[in-house]
Amino acid sequence: MKLIVHIGSPKAGSTSIQMGLRNCSEALQAAGITYLSGSREFATLYQRMKRLPTLFATRFQSVEEAEQWSRCCWKELEARLAKEKPAVSVMSGEQFLRLSHKPRFLERLQKSFDEIHAVCYLRDPVSDYVSNINQRIRGGARLRDLFGTWEMNKGMWQAVALECWEEQIGRERLHVRAFDRANLEGGDVVTDFLIRLQEISGLDVPMPERSFRSNESLSGPSTAWLMMLNEAFPRDLEGKDQKKVAQLRKATIDRLREFDEASGAPSLKLEHPAIIAYVRHHTRDGSILVNERYLDGQPKLSVGEPLTQEPTPTELREHVREWLIASLNERYIAEIARAVTLTEEPA
């Protein structure tokens, strides 16, 4: 049995690919490809979690409960594969690239599949940084939480993670693509992935009639407003309290999305030279490795010059704060206040 697994990277069209696969699942099945839905279901058991992420807070009471759920999902998947024995299967999960225990995850897949191919999309560091900041603020991060080794060494960890996959499945079965509209077939990541699926499987894969976009970033004004809210966002809650706060927070973000759509507020763009230079400095070595090893004949990740003097952590936080707040002018402050303030009676 053959598996083609999309492994990310994070913030490079993963949710859109998953939505496209779900919507095309019947057509894929007719073409001879079984879509194995689920990503966190299978990633959770091989992550190193100290506490529940915000996304899980509305579903589980503890890390142990989430891991048990993942164990059950694995057993169900393996039972299904043993029964149906699909010739070609496809999975998608941006978490699969950055798992804490990638070898164990891959070894488990190899118990069910004779041949595994992985497809990975890599985004330019500066564009990726903006998208990552947006996602982390949506997840509750404060300004002081936004700077860690994960973000600033992303190019390097991506290179190391890809090498791990390469060691397990072989270089010829690792397919790396630059997440660049000019590089993607039809300028669309879903179409591009389906074409990779067709090439690897050797089957006639149906192409979507429309694009699928999901998990869109918040606008610049909404991101800045939410960052301010995060300063007072409680983080040490557990159980029912954590679940209730997570539900209220999701409702607020949903209202911000409605505001973005109705107002046409501008997207979050990074034009601050000091931040751009900092990002390129810290992703330089990893980007060079990825460019040389995996992106031959494709657009390269941007590589900046090394900084002779880095900004201090305080200076960097000040740069980012001013960059974000610059998009939140008087007009948007008032409009967002109206959008997130409820006037109807509580249910």
Q: Is residue 35 part of a domain?
A: yes
Q: What is the pLDDT of residue 219?
A: 95
Residue 17 lies in a domain: yes
Domain count for the chain, please give it: 1
pLDDT digits (tens, 9 = 90+) for 93-113: 989 998 889 999 999 999 999
Secondary structure, 3-state, the chain: CEEEEECCCCCCCHHHHHHHHHHCHHHHHHHCEEECCCCHHHHHHHCCCCCCCHHHCCCCCCHHHHHHHHHHHHHHHHHHHHHHCCCEEEEECHHHCCCCCHHHHHHHHHHHCCEEEEEEEECCHHHHHHHHHHHHHHCCCCHHHCCCHHHHCHHHHHHHHHHHHHHHHCHHHEEEEECCCCCCHHHCHHHHHHHHHHHHHCCCCCCCCCCCCCCCCCEHHHHHHHHHHHCCCCCCCCHHHHHHHHHHHHHHHHHHHHHHHHHCCCECCCCCHHHHHHHHHHCHHHHHHHHHHHCCCCCCCCCCCCCCCCCCHHHHHHHHHHHHHCCCCHHHHHHHHHHHCCCCCCC
Given a cut of 90, whether residue 273 has pLDDT beyond it is yes
Q: Is residue 34 part of a domain?
A: yes
CATH (domain of 9) = 3.40.50
Tell whether 99 is covered by a domain: yes
Mean pLDDT, residues 217-223: 94
Per-residue model confidence (pLDDT) at position 59: 81
Instruction: For residue 325, tell me if it sits in a domain.
Output: no
pLDDT of 236-255, one tens digit each? 666 667 778 788 888 999 99
Q: Are 121 and 274 in contact (CB under 8 A)?
A: no
Domain presence at residue 239:
no
* Domain-located, residue 101: yes
Q: What is the pLDDT of residue 150?
A: 44
The domain of 158 spans: 2-124+150-201
Q: Is 320 a member of any domain? A: no
Reported as a pLDDT band with limits 50, 70 and 90, residue 282 is: confident
For residue 181, pLDDT beyond 80: yes
